[in-house]
Copies of this chain bind each other. A is one copy, B any other.
Amino acid sequence: MTEESLQAFIQKYKDIIDKRLPELIDSLETPPNLKESMIYSLNAGGKRIRPLLMLAVLKAYDSLFDDAYDIACAAEMVHTYSLIHDDLPAMDDDDVRRGKPTNHKVFGEAIAILAGDALFTRSIEIMASETNSLSPEVKIRLISEFVKASGPEGMVGGQAADLNGEGKSLSLEELEYIHHHKTGDLLTYSIVAGAIMANAPEQDIEKLRSFAKALGLVFQIKDDILDVEGDASLIGKPVGSDDDKDKSTYPSLLTLEGAKKKLAYHAQEAKETLSKVSGNMALLNELTDYIVERDH
């Protein structure tokens, strides 16, 4: 896999996801400002990492099919819903996300809360009702993994732990609990869902789950490093904003150099785990490098 082909993969499938996401909302019969609010945040950019990981796994098994795009969009919708709720005044109180006003700054807090709620219900509706090429067994397995990753033992639990930890000095263990759940579980879901839809061997699914956990840490450590030394115009928020909020981060616990070492360690761990999976994992290997080396 050359870098050109990775970039071609990202561009091709990011375009498909970017185009499909608003279509999946636009067809709804719902109050116009609620619909606009949902579409606004889906269209506000983003790397589409979760859909791309899911599609990359499907390609690794040569098993990409049409309904998989909508399952990939559902994962992006839940990510978007979590960002809308995280940005609320009662939560992180962010006015800007990816260089644009946050949802509640445009549509008001009440509609922003409901837009998040609606994106979540819509994501499940797509999985349950609008992907007819999947068997009920596969749908139920996907939905089970999805809600476990998104709920009180997953993303929402991680967000609560993150809020509880604000202004406190966390241990590395507490910080990793937060990241495993707040961002890691949905990344892991995306990879595992690709493998389930590809009908991958069960031992591959479990190895990909381990790979995904390491990749999730890589992703978060890199985010924390970018918050210290990134370019504000690329990352879409002010550099040093974690520090301003008195949040524990990998650099604050381990120093910037220590965080970079840990990033390299988990990147290596991820790639070694990946090497033990059957199927053609070259693209996922490249995606791992891309996540390590990204500048936003």
State the A residues within 8 Å of B (CB): 25, 28-31, 33-35, 38, 85, 88, 90-91, 108-111, 113-114, 116-118, 120-122, 124-125, 128-129, 135-137, 139-140, 143-144, 147-148, 150-154, 156-157, 159-161, 163-164
Partner of A90, one of B109, B122, B161: B109
Given pairs A118-B160, A124-B143, 7 additional interface contacts (CB within 8 A): A25-B152, A30-B153, A30-B160, A31-B164, A34-B152, A114-B160, A125-B144
Copies of this chain assembled into the complex:
2
What would 13 A/B residue contacts be, using CB atoms closer than 8 Å?
Answer: A85-B113, A91-B113, A110-B163, A111-B163, A114-B159, A116-B117, A117-B120, A122-B147, A125-B148, A128-B143, A128-B144, A140-B140, A143-B143
> Complex: how many Å from CA A113 to CA B91?
9
Distance in Å: Cβ of A162 to nearest Cβ of chain B: 9
Partner of A118, one of B88, B90, B137, B151: B151
Distance in Å: Cβ of A121 to nearest Cβ of chain B: 3
A140 proximity list for chain B (CB < 8 A): 128, 136, 139-140
Q: Are A38 and B148 in contact (CB under 8 A)?
A: no
> Complex: how many Å from CA A97 to CA B163?
25
A139 proximity list for chain B (CB < 8 A): 136, 140
Q: Are A122 and B31 in contact (CB under 8 A)?
A: no
Partner of A152, one of B35, B135, B136: B35
Partner of A117, one of B85, B110, B128: B85
Q: Are B118 and A152 in contact (CB under 8 A)?
A: yes
Q: Are B128 and A33 in contact (CB under 8 A)?
A: no
- Interface pairs A-B: 8 shortest CB-CB: A121-B151, A90-B109, A136-B136, A118-B152, A30-B152, A34-B160, A30-B157, A129-B144
Q: By CB atoms of chain B within 10 A, which of A137, A143, A150 has the most?
A: A143
Q: Which residue of B lies closest to A118 (CB)?
A: B152
Q: Are A147 and B159 in contact (CB under 8 A)?
A: no
Q: Are B124 and A147 in contact (CB under 8 A)?
A: yes
A128 proximity list for chain B (CB < 8 A): 140, 143-144, 147
